[in-house]
Every structure is written in structure tokens, then in C-alpha cells.
Amino acid sequence: MLSDCIIKNYNEILETELMEATGCTEPIALALAAATARKVLGCLPEKVDVYCSANIIKNVKAVVVPNSGGLKGIEVAAMLGIVGGDSEKALQVITNVSDEQREQLRKELLKNKVTCHLAQNVPTLYIKVAVSSDSETAEVILQNKHDNISSIIKNGEVIYHEEVPVGHEVAGPDKELLNVKDIIEYAETVNLDDVRQIIARQIKDNVAISQEGLTNDWGEQVGKTLFNCYDNRDVKIRARAAAAAGSDARMNGCPMAVVINSGSGNQGMTVSLPVIEYAKDLEVSEEKLYRALILANLIALHQKRYIGYLSAYCGAVSAATGAGCGICWLLGGKYEEISNTIINSIASIGGMVCDGAKSSCAGKISLSVESALQAMEMAMKGYVYRNGEGLVKPDVEETIKAVGKMAKDGMASTDIEILEIMLEK
């Protein structure tokens, strides 16, 4: 039986991680930092210097910024936060941009006020925005979590500062307590009233943007292609299409909110939408769907605690693995089958690279879900990759940790190479 401490901790993990966000979370984090800097400065800046970690640059470069009028890039995200952002709205900072503010954005961009710099020796998730006007200056640092502003300075005076060691996440619930066995027990026994609102919001938001992606023409239409060109009577196809379609819309500027997982809307959709599709197909109760989603979300977060929010390892793999576990549970899978689903999934497709946020994320999501479903079906038949084969270790916890180490430490140089290739002219 789980202790009250673990239950409370898991409740808080879901509460703090499953947040609503509008648009890709890296440009949104940049817009949030910029909106905060402008608010502190008190006027429209004449000069804006943006210092970003490599992973932020990678994930902002090619994704459409919502409510920008179809524009992309670091300069766009920063300036939209300045002219149209509401810093009180956290990851929905640019939800309510007006036509007048979009026009102002275009005019300000022509003035080339924004200069981007690559920040060295900083956390993988790091943004500093320094703004100035006449003799007034302001500086805001956001790091380690997409909505975590750790430092505010005005005219050289420290207004707020939070000491966060490099490589550490911000303070919050203890993810070290996550493990597969306890996650399953928690999902099966938690009082749903404690987390109902969180899961209901994930279902509502993520289903809505998925339907938008399946209905209208967003990006390269990976979800619509799957749905229309394959047998959509097959729940496996619908599960892949639903997740991919949400990404089609989101990566191409759709301003609808999503509920994120591990700091990512793509991961939030990938971990939830396949489970929702299977739940509809199986005609399970609302309670069973909620418990399956709780399990899926926590399994995804458990994997990412070893990897971090940003890396060269595509987070769709972790999220899809979580979805595979949620579906496994819906189909009657227990600890052994769920553990083997994880091992089969991350031993198959673990290591797919992240080359930034953009349209092709939808394709990676589709393939990650396909791999996770294959992993789940193998596990349900009693098949699992063996200890010693590649990164597979004697049990699921050691295997998750091994893949996490490869993703965080082993792929660090890969991350640098990806960015250098992306920035080649």
C-alpha cells in the first residue's frame, strides 16, 4: 500500500507537469521571458539581446509561433512577447494577441532590434533576455523549466534571484520517488477527485487540437495522411493519426491550448491521444480512461527524469512508450506486461534524434506510437528483449536508467553536431 507521502508527491507531479500551453513550449518560454523583461523595463525597448542554450535555439528556429501571423524564429517569439505578451499567463503568454499587436510585431521586426546569442556553459533549457531603452535596462533569466523565471534585474539591481545549480531541475515534487511498480498502484488506487480536473483538461484540450489537425490543412498533414490513406477502422491507425494530427496543427502555428508532459505539448499529445482512442474503441468507463492516462503520463515522466526536458533524444519516444503502457493496462496488462512494454519500446526506437521543433515532429510521433504499440503487443504475448541485448538491463528500472544515461550524456555531442548542421548557411 502506498504511503500518503508518495500519493501526495505523485499528485503534485501531475499538477505541476500537466500544464496548459499555447504553441511549442520553447518559443513560448522565450516569449514569456521577453514579456517579463518588457514589463520590468516599463516601456517598449530600443534594444533586445537574447541569450539561448543550444536546445532552445534548435527548438525555436523552424516552428511557427502562434498568433504571429505565420512567422517563425527567435526574433519573432521574443518580439511577440514584448509587444503582445501577458507575463501573468505563464505558458499562455501570447494567447490573446490582437491584430494591432501583430501589425506592431511586423513593424518592430523591421527595425532589427533583436540580437540572438548562443549561451555557453548553461543548462540545456536556458534563456536570458536583456532589454534597454535610454538609460533604463532590465534582464530576465528563465531556466531548467519552461515557466521558471530564476532572475530579474532592473538597472543593475537584483529584484529576484533563485539559485539553481547547473544540471538541476527547479524545486518541486520529488521525481526520484517514481518507479513503475508504484506508478501502477497509484494509477489503480488514487482518489480520482484529487486529479480529475487535470486529466479532464488534458482530454478536452488535446482531443480538440487533434480534431483540428484532422479536419483542416495544417503543415504536411501527417495525421490526415494516416487517417485517409490507411484503414482508419483500425484503432492502431487512429491512435497514430490522432497524435500526429495534433502535432501537425501545433507545429504550424495553431493557437489552441494543449496539456503538456515533460515540458512538451507534442509529448503531452503523444502520451494521451492514443490512450483515448483505444479507450473509445474498447468502450471503457470514464474512470478506467482516467486511470490509464494517469499511468501513461507518469511512465513518460519517469523516463524523462533521467533525460531532462531537452536533449538530442526525441521525447516522442518516451511519451509514446507511456501511451503504450496505458493501452497495455486497458487491455488487462499487469506489472510484467507494462514493464516489458517499456523495455521493448525503448530498446527498439530509443535514440531517435530531436532536430528541433517543426512539421516533421508529427512523423516522428506517428512512428513512435507505432513502435510502442508493437512493443505492447509483444509484451502481451510474453515476448521481451533480453538482458544484455544492447541497453537492456536485468529489469525495467535499470533499463530506463541506462537509456536515460545514453540520452543525456551519450547524446550530448550529437546535440552539438545537430545544431551546427542546422545553422549551416
In this prediction, residues 408-414 reach a mean pLDDT of 91
pLDDT digits (tens, 9 = 90+) for 175-204: 999 999 999 999 999 999 999 999 999 999
Residue 422: band (very low, low, confident or very high) from pLDDT cuts 50, 70, 90: confident
Asked if 129 contacts 58 with a C-beta cutoff of 8 angstroms, the reply is no
pLDDT of amino acid 172:
77
Asked if 255 contacts 288 with a C-beta cutoff of 8 angstroms, the reply is no
The pair phi, psi for residue 141, each rounded to 5°, is -115, 130
- β-pair type (126-133, 114-118): unpaired
Q: Which grid coordinates are listed for 295? A: 499511468
Asked if 74 contacts 114 with a C-beta cutoff of 8 angstroms, the reply is yes
pLDDT of amino acid 419:
85
pLDDT digits (tens, 9 = 90+) for 290-323: 999 999 999 999 999 999 988 999 999 999 999 9
DSSP string, 131-163: EEETTEEEEEEEESSTT-EEEEEETTEEEEE--
Residue 213 confidence (pLDDT) above 70: yes
How much of the chain, in percent, has pLDDT values that exceed 90? 91
Q: List the CATH code of the domain at 173-422.
A: 1.10.4100.10
Choose among 50, 314, 317, 310: nearest CA to 169: 310
In this prediction, residues 214-233 reach a mean pLDDT of 96
Task: Enumerate the domain spans of the chain.
Answer: 20-161, 173-422
pLDDT of amino acid 202:
98
Q: Helix, strand, or coil here: 384?
A: coil
Residue 171: band (very low, low, confident or very high) from pLDDT cuts 50, 70, 90: low
pLDDT digits (tens, 9 = 90+) for 20-62: 999 899 999 999 999 999 999 999 999 999 999 999 999 998 9
Q: List the CATH code of the domain at 20-161.
A: 3.30.1330
The pair phi, psi for residue 161, each rounded to 5°, is -150, 130
Bridge partners (DSSP) listed for residue 259: 20
* Mean pLDDT computed over every residue of the chain: 95
Residue 109: band (very low, low, confident or very high) from pLDDT cuts 50, 70, 90: very high
Strand positions, DSSP E, 8-55: 20-22, 47-52
Asked if 353 contacts 313 with a C-beta cutoff of 8 angstroms, the reply is yes
Bridge partners (DSSP) listed for residue 133: 136
- pTM more than 0.85: yes
